[in-house]
Chains A and B, each alone.
Chain A
Amino acid sequence: MKYIILISMLISSIVAKAQDVQMADTMRSEGKIYVVIAVLCVILIGLFIYLITIDKKLNKLEKEINS
């Protein structure tokens, strides 16, 4: 019984700490602007990957047609 109380106290203190940490992490500060930045970066990187893929495809076609 003693152990159970001890463990439950330990867990609750860890949870409390985790919540503290969660609220203070970078992604949640400054009105969550970092979340917007993350989203925009994902979109931009996605578009770039798409553009690079098109570029590469075109390279291949050019080689095929010009040879």
Chain B
Amino acid sequence: MRNWWKALTVILLLYTIIGGLLIPVPKQVILYESIRNLYFHVPMWFSMIFLFLMSVVYSIKGLSSNNLSHDTKARELVNAGIIFGILGTITGSIWAKFTWGAWWVNDVKLNGSAITMLIYLAYIVLRGSLDDEQKRARISAVYNIFAFVLLLVFIGILPRMTDSLHPGNGGNPGFNSYDTDKNMLMVFYPAVIGWILLGWWIASIRIRISTLEQKLEA
């Protein structure tokens, strides 16, 4: 059974929706039931970061081997990652409106993620501007490494150094009180794995399509 992980994706995500809406959550002012967004909004970002990380892995592989198939994988992983980033931004915006009071607030993490999205969009633009395959593979691979480092800085490091509305960042006490809530973790961890697997699944389909396209062109 080569595709066991696809079945696992289906099971985990169905569990996320059923468990995520039914299993009791801690009662918190302001958040109320919207705390359940933790199972849907946060895994979007985790999936994006995972896909971008895998993309860097393939970029490095491509740089050391000069194999163009790694370049295809890196590109499609970024394409799929951007979708998850957009979904994370939209869902976060909705959640922010009804808890923080505005669709967009000047929070380090929000601005950092926006900059990150622009950096990755620039990756796509950069690729489009280069015609030579080998050159494009090498330059975009180097840019991809640079982009991932910036992602770590903008999403991982900077928000922790200043005040942020996001739990766990800066002086803001994290999801500590919920982190210890076993009920929530019972859904949160499977949700993260499920959404990451879904991202991987979509990316793998994109990779296979581009591989076929290249074969037909050749």
Using a CB–CB distance below 8 Å, which chain A residues touch chain B? 33, 36-37, 40-41, 44-45, 48, 51-52, 54-55, 58, 61-62, 65-66
5 residue pairs, one from A and one from B, having the closest CB atoms: A40-B17, A48-B10, A58-B208, A37-B21, A37-B18
**Chain B residue with minimal CB distance to A43?**
B17
Given A54-B205, A58-B209, A65-B216, A41-B21 contact (CB < 8 Å): no
Asked whether any CB of chain A lies closer than 8 Å to the CB of B212, the reply is yes
Interface range on chain B: under 10, 10 to 19, 20 to 34, or 35 or more?
10 to 19
Tell whether, in the assembled complex, residue B14 and residue A65 are in contact, meaning their CB atoms are under 8 Å apart.
no
Q: Are B212 and A41 in contact (CB under 8 A)?
A: no
List residues of chain B with CB within 8 A of the CB of A61.
212
Q: Chain B residues near A44: list those with CB within 8 A.
A: 13-14, 17
Q: Which residues of B contact A45 (CB under 8 A)?
A: 10, 14
Residues of A within 8 A of B215 (CB): 65-66
**B residues with CB within 8 A of A:** 6, 9-10, 13-14, 17-18, 21-22, 201-202, 205, 208-209, 212, 215-216
Q: Could you list some 22 contacts between A and B, CB below 8 A?
A: A33-B22, A40-B17, A40-B21, A44-B13, A44-B14, A44-B17, A45-B14, A48-B9, A48-B13, A51-B201, A51-B202, A51-B205, A52-B6, A55-B6, A55-B201, A58-B205, A58-B208, A58-B209, A58-B212, A62-B208, A65-B215, A65-B216
Q: A44 CA to B194 CA in the complex, in Å?
A: 12
Measured between beta carbons, the chain B residues less than 8 angstroms from A66 are 215
Inter-chain contact B201/A33, CB cutoff 8 Å: no
- Are B17 and A37 within 8 A (Cβ)? yes
B residues less than 8 Å from A55 (CB atoms):
6, 201, 205
Nearest CB of A to B27, in Å: 15
> Is there an interface contact between B22 and A37, defined as CB atoms closer than 8 Å?
yes
Quick one: given A33-B22, A54-B205, are A65 and B17 in contact (CB under 8 Å)?
A: no
Among A41, A48, A52, the residue within 8 A (CB) of B18 is A41
Chain A residues closer than 8 Å to B9, beta-carbon distance: 48
Residues of A within 8 A of B208 (CB): 58, 62
Alpha-carbon distance between A45 and B201 when the two chains are bound, in angstroms: 15
